[in-house]
Amino acid sequence: MDKEQAAIRIQALRKELDRHNYQYYVLDSPVISDAEYDRLLRELEGLEAAYPEFITSDSPTRRIGAKPLDAFSTVSHTMPMLSLANAMSAEEVIDFDKRVKKLLNVSAVEYVMEVKIDGLAVELVYEKGLFILGSTRGDGYSGEDITQNLRTIRSIPMKLMDNQGIPIPERLEVRGEVYIGKREFEELNRKRGEAGEPLFANPRNAGSGTVRQLDSRITAGRKLNIFCYAPGQIIGAAIETHLQFLDYLKKWGFRVNEYAHPCKDVGEVIDYYHHIEALREQILYEIDGTVIKVNRFDYQAHLGAVSRSPRWAIAYKFEAQEETTVIEDIIVGVGRTGALTPVAVLKPVAVGGVEVSRATLHNEDEIRRKGIMIGDTVIVRRAGDVIPEVVKAIEEKRTGSEIPFVMPIACPVCGEKAVRPSGEAITRCVNINCPAQIKGSIEHFASKRAMDIDGLGVKLIEQMVDKNIIKDVSDLYFLTKEVLMGLERMADKSAQNIVDAITASAKRPFNRFIYGLGIRNVGEHISGLLAERYRDMDHLSSATEEELVAIPEIGPEVAGSITAFFKDEKNTETIRRILQKVEIEHTKRDKKELEGLTFVFTGTLSALAREEARKRVEELGAKTAPSVSKKVDYVVAGAEAGSKLDKARGLGLKILTEEEFMALLQKPLSSHNPG
């Protein structure tokens, strides 16, 4: 066979194998035997080995895995991968429906119901029909690049099908859930047991762990699957509804869940939920509820999102699974903020396919309210990924040997006084030098979502704190290899690896640095908002509560936590020492049309809701403030404007009518000057 003939045969084999992959893994309707498929694949492998110049990334032979990676790189999502709010009852679903209709100002809304797969959320990116990138959800804004592993999942098309005249977009981002089926999970655990390897706790852990293997050949050897169900960015295809999008996905060659179902109103939604609930045990993969989505995309856009969840979708979860067991002890843990948290040590019990040996008791008041004692027989509940909790004690099974729990008056770690502030439910250790708090803050600072110091695990941190080598996170950046080599199981190479990892962490984005500081009430999302709003640590640390509250999604409690953190001299000294060694990376972005301007809204707007108006100017780079001051550039006055308008006039601020405001949104940057 000459080169030209080989090229023709390679193309024919790829086309045929792609068709058989689609028939088998997407349609579940194979038309040839496994042996015949393997023969075709081996023929293609042989031709590509003989003519490597014809190998392409979308070839079926690329699904067998590649050489192991050293680590996953991070990729940003074009559009955030938001998490869903949960509804646990029909009443909460009805409330969701009422909110949707009120915000849309309509009397009826069509929904689409889907099953909620218990797997790992991923994003697939296609350019000109070819699969180029795959990533985990991560924090919703960025995730890990797992392209190599996702290529091994045969139900993921490497190339979009040109089907029935449906246009292939210039760019297509598709979200889906990678999972392992119940039977495949049992088979995987059987083989691991025979090999003497530890068993996976449940299908979710097995699927998530498999898709995040650095060696994609391991991923290829396990039978992962995927359902695709949501869009990210789409360029080059006009789609109006979620149902239409699911139909397009099928025609492009994606695997779409068979249980997706339209519902004309909330009554049908609740009926369909109960239908799926009745089928739960028969379904061949784990589900933990259903998902309700507004069908029309224009309605979704109008509804928008709140914090990290869309307003147009909600998860309607199945009732929590419960089992009975015994509380063998109640221990008290100390977190990085000094919070003392009682935890029930349980006689191990399987709840929803997961072995549970500990459950949260939340706080002292909760224990009193539920009347829980050490030695009690109790009901333990686990709902989805929620940490197991003790629901109640079964008093009828008491023997008289049960012991009441008493919250310690001293920290169980450092022995210093524990205090429960007036009006709070949490008892706290007030010793800022408590080893538990120091260990927790260092562990958080070094975590993957923060400064990502590879190899700095819990046991090593405990050693360093216990031996007084480090007293706070800033000491990490002054460690030497020689000091580390004095610790247990720390030889020359491993010590050097830790030093190198700490050095590598010295360049991290500002949002991850903020998150790593462990400010109370400040998670990843709020850290991102702060990094966007403030240029550097000096500006952030000097921000007032009033300025912080003016940032959308930051309330008084969060603002108070931030300002209190920076008023603490120990915290500011720690940051000063860190910044001697750490170079914060600030995200470079194009200047937006209204950047640098501050708006205040007063009165009622007719063209759009005030919240929507705020969102519009913030998307264009402006800030919004809750009150009028000399720092405000524009005051937008709607109908029945009140005292804010009078104060704005007194200060001589620029006042806009609603018509002027709408016109301003259309003007180019050069004309946005309140003068």
Amino acid occupying residue 35: A
- Reduced to 3 states (helix: H, G, I; strand: E, B; else coil), residue 407 is coil
d(CA 494, CA 485): 8
Fill in the DSSP letter of residue 52.
G
User: Taking the chain, what is the end-to-end CA distance rounded to the nearest angstrom?
Assistant: 77
Please indicate whether residue 116 is annotated as part of the active site: yes
Q: Using an 8 Å Cβ cutoff, are 221 and 68 in contact?
A: no
d(CA 380, CA 10): 58
Ramachandran region, residue 105 (left: φ > 0; alpha: ψ -120 to 50; beta: rest): left
d(CA 93, CA 314): 8
d(CA 624, CA 630): 13
The owner of tokens 């050069």 is 670
Determine whether 105 is exposed, middle or buried from the number of CB atoms within 10 Å of its CB (0-12, 13-18, 19+). exposed
Fill in the DSSP letter of residue 296.
B
* CA of residue 33 relative to chain centroid, distance: 40
Tally Cβ neighbours within 10 Å of residue 112. 21
Tally Cβ neighbours within 10 Å of residue 264. 12
> Structure tokens of 226?
């995927």
d(CA 54, CA 589): 39
The owner of tokens 């007084």 is 468
Alpha helices in 280-401 (DSSP H): 297-303, 364-370
Give the burial string for 625-662 (b: 16+ CB within 10 Å, else e).
beebeeebbbbbbbeebeebbebbeeeebebbebeebb
Q: Which of 3, 116, 439, 644 is catalytic?
A: 116
Residue 290, φ and ψ in degrees, nearest 5: -125, 165
d(CA 144, CA 410): 42
Determine whether 276 is exposed, middle or buried from the number of CB atoms within 10 Å of its CB (0-12, 13-18, 19+). buried
Q: What sign for the dihedral angle of Cα 565, 567, 568, 569?
A: positive
Q: How many Å is the Cα radius of gyration of the chain?
A: 28
> Structure tokens of 398?
């008491």
Can you give the length of the chain in residues?
675
Amino acid occupying residue 56: T
Q: Using an 8 Å Cβ cutoff, are 124 and 176 in contact?
A: yes
Catalytic positions are: 116
